[in-house]
Amino acid sequence: MEDPVPGTAPPSGRHHGRRLPRTLTAVAAAAALLPLFGTAQAAEPPRDAAAIPLQRAFDDAAQRYGVPQSVLLGVSYLESRWDGHQGMPSATGGYGPMHLTDARTALADFPRSAVGDGGDDGRGDDSRPLITPATIEAPDVAALPAALTTLDRAAALTGLPAGALRAEPAANVAGGAALLADLQKSLGEPLSADPADWYAAVARYSGADDRATAGSFADDVFDVMRQGQTRVTDTGRRVTLTALPSLRPAAGQVARVGLRAPNAAGTECPPGLGCEWVPAPYQETGGGDYGNYDIADRPAGQKIDTIVIHDTEGYWDTAMQLVQDPTYLAWHYTVRSADGHVAQHLKTKDVGWHAGNWYTNAKSIGVEHEGFLVDPDAWYTEAMYRSSARLVRYLAAEYHIPLDRQHILGHDNVPGPTASYVPGMHTDPGPYWDWGHYLALLGAPVRATAGSWGGIVTIDPDYETNQPVYTGCITAGDTCAAHGSTAVRLYTAPSEDAPLVKDVGMHGATGAGTTGVNDMGSRASTGQQFAVAERQGDWTAVWYLGQKAWFHNPRTDPTAVDAVGLVVTPKKGLDSVPVYGRAYPEASAFPAGVPVQALSPMPYTVPAGQRYVVGGAERGEYYYSVTFDTASHQVVRGRQLYYEIQLGARVEYVRAEDVTLLPSALGAPR
């Protein structure tokens, strides 16, 4: 049964507002074709659906519609991890634990601007102008495919009103069970009590229009059923799926999935992941310019050491239009929220324009995720998180990239290349991306690696219950909907009444921090590591942007765990050392014909006595690529050694000659 969990309660104070458009670009809807569901007779709806506890709702719906409870629980876990999201739609217009889609209602009730991540972002190279996207046409809601209107079918099958299916978890579960039973019948399969007989129906439930993505979804559902799961939902109740370790699809079930084969030729994706090739154009656009990426030869030409996680700030179709626009920007992959489908746009050997920092672009792979930063209720599906994690694990293994937060960066962790860029750097995927869950899916969960002697803490708040106040999701200054968050707030003293720490790069001379959802200057995110400066009771101070920054870290409910590693501090005799947003070679390393790239210091420094966690060491490097003709492209390598450090929310670089490298435990406060 679904048991109350002591000390938990559903999030409160959430409102149904949505952000205002940030540009005049029109909204575009996601659309993935799905074969129409078959027909079935409407069943008697459950009584008093709103009052049924969720665990019992799964049992009741399973019995009513002849679906094994484990199948129903497994599908729901892949869609929502059993959360109801208080009746709010996902990034693709899905509602409730079963992610029943009603895109017409979602678009009408919660219109969202679709501008594309990076639409006002420079390519990170001053030789090229800023890029703005073309206008994107609004969707024709009358022509939405079946994949985005499954709630209508669920209403017809159950006799339940659409409003109840959107807002009431038990009704939503009943609708999902009815759809699964209907799919099983349409495939000519009996309503078997054996979960092994439901693989094809589970695959079709995903809404994918290709068999690879549908199969990937079903594989994940069966994996969940084999392993079992238990978690506390967003209503503060526990739901459990008992493990079935020997479960495998019955003979013939995989072949029953059907659907088209994706255009996977040339893609670089792990086996079993639904992935297709949707190429970005590499072509001249006039006036000596070209788009929308650079031909390269990585890793032979230069190392790939970073993966950047973005959200699209638009729907799937928006992203597909923009990445194929030669006057826009390009990234390597996009992951669809509805079913975890992946599109690849660039070969990983080539350099995308996605991070707003040319140095980062030249050494990274960009992965976009369908969604909206400032829309906390437009939630991501578990299917998307899992597909993304599978892709990133594969890429990290291929290119020997560490699975930590100084190599798996959010776009919001990428440094500005110069001081002037800092205020305009992007802030996606933002504070509502669940880094803790994502790192666990990557196989690199946050864990303590030391006691208090270690000298480092790794940020790790409980996502659901950690709900700092953010403002500006809809209107500047207005409070955002209360929601779980990956970040902790940083103060100048051990008190929530103290001012927030300063960010002079973001806010100028005063540096005054704010609670703005796009203000990165006074928060630290799950998985990021910082050197401990001091401890007082339930508060911990870390070195951050040249200051002592305090966050609430009670021993009974910690928001960070202890760790050990390497840190840097200014060399003896130096009052402070400069930091840089890119690790470029020294001037003498640039050959004739390649303009010297200045070592432009950021508005921050590392003062004497402070320590910052080291993510890695690398020699200065610059990829010269400013013409369509690749004959002039070349990689400039220097002798100057840099350390990448976690200076604040963003990583930065310091010259090895300016600092001393030492173990974090040496002389660390306890």
Secondary structure letter of residue 500 according to DSSP: B
Please state the domain count of the chain: 3
Q: Please state which of the ranges 43-57, 310-324, 503-517 shows the lowest mean pLDDT.
A: 43-57
CA 473 to CA 494: how far, in whole Å?
A: 27
Last residue of a domain, one of 401, 418, 433: 401
Domain that residue 284 falls in: 114-145+262-401
- DSSP string covering 348-406: TTSEEB-SS-HHHHHTEEEEEESB-TT-TTSPPPHHHHHHHHHHHHHHHHHHT--SSTT
* Structural domain includes residue 436: no
**What pLDDT sits at residue 591?**
96
Closest CA to 613 of 305, 334, 406: 406
Q: Is residue 374 exposed (0-12), middle (13-18) or buried (19+ Cβ within 10 Å)?
A: buried
pLDDT in tens, 535-571: 999 999 999 999 999 999 999 999 999 999 999 999 9
Same domain for 166 and 248 = yes
pLDDT in tens, 573-602: 999 999 999 999 999 999 999 999 988 999
CA 639 to each of CA 584, 636, 655: distance values in angstroms, whole numbers, following the listed order: 10, 10, 11
CATH of the domain at 244: 1.10.530
**What pLDDT sits at residue 621?**
97
CA 311 to CA 116: how far, in whole Å?
A: 9
Same domain for 243 and 200 = yes
Same domain for 125 and 86 = no
Same domain for 80 and 184 = yes
CATH of the domain at 322: 3.40.80.10
Name the one residue in this structure whose structure tokens are 């976690």.
Answer: 646
CA 456 to CA 666: how far, in whole Å?
A: 11
Name the one residue in this structure whose structure tokens are 């990956």.
Answer: 486
CA 74 to CA 82: how far, in whole Å?
A: 9
Same domain for 305 and 219 = no
* Structural domain includes residue 555: no
Q: Is residue 262 exposed (0-12), middle (13-18) or buried (19+ Cβ within 10 Å)?
A: buried
Name the one residue in this structure whose structure tokens are 């995927």.
Answer: 429
CA 153 to CA 8: how far, in whole Å?
A: 35
* Structural domain includes residue 409: no
Same domain for 234 and 97 = yes
Last residue of a domain, one of 240, 256, 272: 256
pLDDT in tens, 278-329: 999 999 988 888 888 999 999 999 999 999 999 998 889 889 999 999 988 9
Give yes or no for a contact between 441 and 387, defined as CB atoms under 8 angstroms apart: no
Give yes or no for a contact between 89 and 102, defined as CB atoms under 8 angstroms apart: yes
* Structural domain includes residue 468: no
* Structural domain includes residue 444: no
Higher-pLDDT residue of 390 and 42 is 390
Spatial CB neighbours of 598, under 8 Å, sequence gap ≥ 6: 584
Same domain for 140 and 58 = no
Same domain for 286 and 387 = yes
